[in-house]
Structures are given as C-alpha cells and as structure tokens.
Chain A
Amino acid sequence: MARSFGTAEFLYLLKAIPWTLLLSLGALAGGGLIGLLIAILRTSPFRVLRWLATGYIELFQGTPVLMQLFVTYYGLAVLFNIQVDAWPAVLLAFTLYSGAFLGEIWRGSIQAIPRPQWEAAECLSLSFPKQLWYVILPQAARISIPPTVGFAVLLIKSTSIAAIIGFVELTRAGQLMTDATFRPMIVYPIVAALYFLLCWPLSLLAQTLERRIDATLGISKHF
C-alpha cells in the first residue's frame, strides 16, 4: 500500500526548496566572480585574453548543463581519486556555468557604455583598471541588473537538473515523493507550481526593471 499525498509529503517538498535556493545563490555568487573576470577579459585590449574568455563562454554555452554536471561529478572523482558528494560537484558545475552566462551578459553591459566615456576617462589620465573601476563598471552595473535577474530565473530552473545525479533539491524531492506515493499527477504539478512561485516574481521584477532602465536611457538621449 502506497502512502497517500498529505501534509507531511507536501512539507517534504517545501523543505527541499532551501536547497534549490542555496544552490542557486551559491552558483550566482561564485559565478558572479568568474563572470566579472570573464566580462573584463572579453572587453580588455589584449587579444589573447579576449580569446581565452570567448573560449570559456563558448565551451559552457555550447554544451548541455547535464553533461557539465556529469563531467564535473566524475571528473572530481577521477582527478582527486575520491568519491565526492553530490553537493560540491553540483555547486562547482553550476558556478562554472553561471560564470559563462554572467560573463556574456556583463560584457554586453560594458560594451553598451558609450565609447566617449572611456575616452573621457582616458583624458583624465586614469589607468585602464581605474577607467574600468571608477567610470565604466558603475554605469554598466545599472544596465546589467535586469538581465542578471533574468538569468537568476534561468539558473533556478536549471538547478532542477542536479536531481539527475541524485542531489536532493525540489525536483529530486518530487521524484522521491512520487516513488513513495505513486501520485505523479499530484506531485509534479505541485513541484511545477512551487518553481513558478519562486520564478515568476523574479521574472516580473526583471521586466519592471528593464522598463525603468529603458525609460531612464530614453530620457538621457534627449540631453
């Protein structure tokens, strides 16, 4: 006799949400550092550095996350000769993955800053790192917020893939509850609804921010 899907089962799903969020936030933080580096390298005046950063982005945007997860999971085991837990492997994989996407998003933001801003900074005899840090990045950061929030939505959804190598987050919890209750018609729509509740507010936020920044840029065009 299978368990029925009741409050306890629903609570089990809810308790898995922090793991989904923790994984997303961890990947966002680590990926943010890599992404910043990649974005700067992509816009740097040195060709070799630009190529390296482009290669990194192509590699991670041109392969499935699932494969990146498998390679990291088995790669860590092979390279360090230890059987790793799922947690460090998924965190590493999603960090590297976020780094590529954030790098590409932020490159776009940096390049959206008008050329004269660089030239003006150079006229003030600021060095390249100072031009970047004091003049370009503060402006680029504002433009980059909406697409970064949009990426956070993509990331939260992508972390569901960690379920495939057995990391217990929301989707894996859903699988476990389905196995226990044999009620996929109830469990999976609930899991989908929970993801929707996590992602939809962020999607709306991204849209609102985008509209607001478009409006500000529209005004600044008239001056």
Chain B
Amino acid sequence: MNYVFQFNIVWDHLPELLEGALLTIRLSAMAMALGLCLALLCAYGQSAGPWPVRWLVASYVELIRNTPFLVQIFIFYFSLPMIGIRLTADAAALAAMTVNLGAYASEIVRAGIEAIPRGQIEAARALGLKRLQIFRFIIIFPALKTVYPALASQFILLMLSSSVVSTISAVELTAITNSLTSTTFRSFEFYFVATGLYLAMALGFRAVLSGIYWTTFQRGRGA
C-alpha cells in the first residue's frame, strides 16, 4: 500500500461539508414533518374512511414499499416533467422523501391504532364523540406513543437514505462531497469523513427524537 492519506485537505473544506450536513438536516426535518402529516392522514383514511379510500391508501403504501427509493426519485424528477409537472431538484427530493416516508410511517401508525383497545373507542362513541374527534382525542396520542420507537428509526432511515437524492443534484451533504472529490481527487478521504458526519447526524437525530419523546409523552398528557 503506497497511497498517502491526506486528511488535511478535508480539514480545509470542513466548513463546506458542515454546510452540506446542515442542508441534509433541514431537508430531512422538513420531510419528517410533512411525511408524518401524510401518514396521519393515510392512517385516518384507512381506519375510518369508506372502502375506496382504504383501497387507495393500501395500494399507495404497497406501491411505495415495494419499489426502490432511487427509482421513486427518478420518477419525481425525470418522469413527472413529461406530464407537465416540473419540479426543481430540491423540491423533487423533498416530494419523493415525503411520499416515501408517508407510506412507511402510515403503516407504522396503523399498527399503533390497531393496538388501541376497542373498549376505549366504544366508550368515546358512547360519549357522543364524532369520528374525527375520536381520532384526535382518543386514538392518535396513545397510538403514536406505542409506535414511537419504530417511527423514530424510520425517520433516521429516511435521513440516511436522503444521501441518494444527490443523484438528481439536490444539494445536500453527499452532493457537496461529490463535488469536493471531483475538484480535489481525494475521494476516499472525503467519503470517509462524510460517512462519519452521517453517523454523527444519525446519533444526533436519535438523541433529539428521544428528547421529543420525553417532553411529549412522559409528562402526562402533554399538550
């Protein structure tokens, strides 16, 4: 092995890498928030909607869960413009991530809803609550609490898979690393450090997500 590692050049470009990490965090956080909303909507549709809605949600979930994320990104960025929907790379990345997370998370949330004892829902109905009220006040909070760990790992998986959106030149950590390696030719060093940054972000996200768990679910009913 006569390769000389040069990590000092990575050090020189550290601000750019950190900026890339920040972009990844922002993109992922937005996709997490939007994806969770989409998931809640789907889960509501599937638990309380008429059969066409249930069927529609079920096929959306199966379709997304059985095709690769990369191909989904390509469809959003390259295929949709052909039918007149033109998105910028960043918007396409965010849309693909949201739609992808929505499917996985709705499946997780649904499992949480199914774990709610029937008696609680019957009691709520006996008190004269409407469907949406039952969902809002009785179901959603304990359901999310039950499945929170699974939801949190899905969020982190999403953050990691966001590296793939660099293929459509959406700007985030991997894209910035790619452009740095092509100007400096130190591929191994840059990818090595970028991998470390992703690991740090995964640990960071996990800490923040468990912080959210403690503040929302452990202090009694919360908001």
Where the two chains meet, the residues of A that have a C-beta atom closer than 8 Å to any C-beta of B are: 58-59, 62-68, 70-71, 74-75, 77-81, 153, 156-161, 163-164, 171, 174-175, 178, 183-185, 188-189, 191-192, 195-196, 199-200, 203
Contacts and interface: CB of A to CB of B under 8 A. Distances in A.
From A64, A158, A183, residue with most partner B Cβ within 10 Å: A64
Contact of A64 (B1, B174, B192): B174
Contacts of A199: 66-67
B1 A79 contact: yes
Contacts of A62: 156, 160, 198-199, 202-203
Interface of B: 1-3, 62-63, 65-72, 74-75, 78-79, 82-83, 156, 160-164, 166-167, 174, 187-188, 191-192, 194-195, 198-199, 202-203
Contacts of A161: 68, 70, 164
Contacts of B202: 62-63
Contact of A78 (B3, B78, B83, B199): B3
B3 A192 contact: no
Given A67-B163, A74-B187, A158 B203 contact: no
A17 to B, nearest CB: 13
Contacts of B82: 183-185
Contacts of A156: 68
27 contacts: A58-B199, A62-B198, A63-B202, A64-B160, A64-B162, A66-B163, A66-B164, A66-B166, A66-B174, A67-B163, A67-B195, A71-B188, A74-B187, A74-B188, A75-B192, A78-B1, A79-B1, A157-B68, A160-B71, A161-B70, A164-B70, A185-B79, A185-B82, A185-B83, A191-B74, A200-B62, A203-B65
A156 B62 CA distance: 15
A63 B195 contact: yes
A66 to B, nearest CB: 5
B32 to A, nearest CB: 16
Given A64-B161, A66-B164, A153-B66, A184 B78 contact: yes
A78 B79 contact: no
B2 A164 contact: no
Contacts of B67: 157, 192, 195-196, 199
Contacts of B195: 63-64, 67-68, 70-71
Given A184-B78, A200-B66, A203-B62, A63 B160 contact: yes
A75 B83 contact: no
Given A64-B164, A153-B66, A184-B82, A71 B191 contact: yes
A14 to B, nearest CB: 16
Given A64-B160, A160-B68, 5 more contacts: A62-B202, A64-B161, A71-B195, A79-B1, A192-B75
B63 A78 contact: no
Contacts of B166: 66
Given A185-B83, A199-B67, A64 B198 contact: yes
Contacts of A70: 187, 191, 195
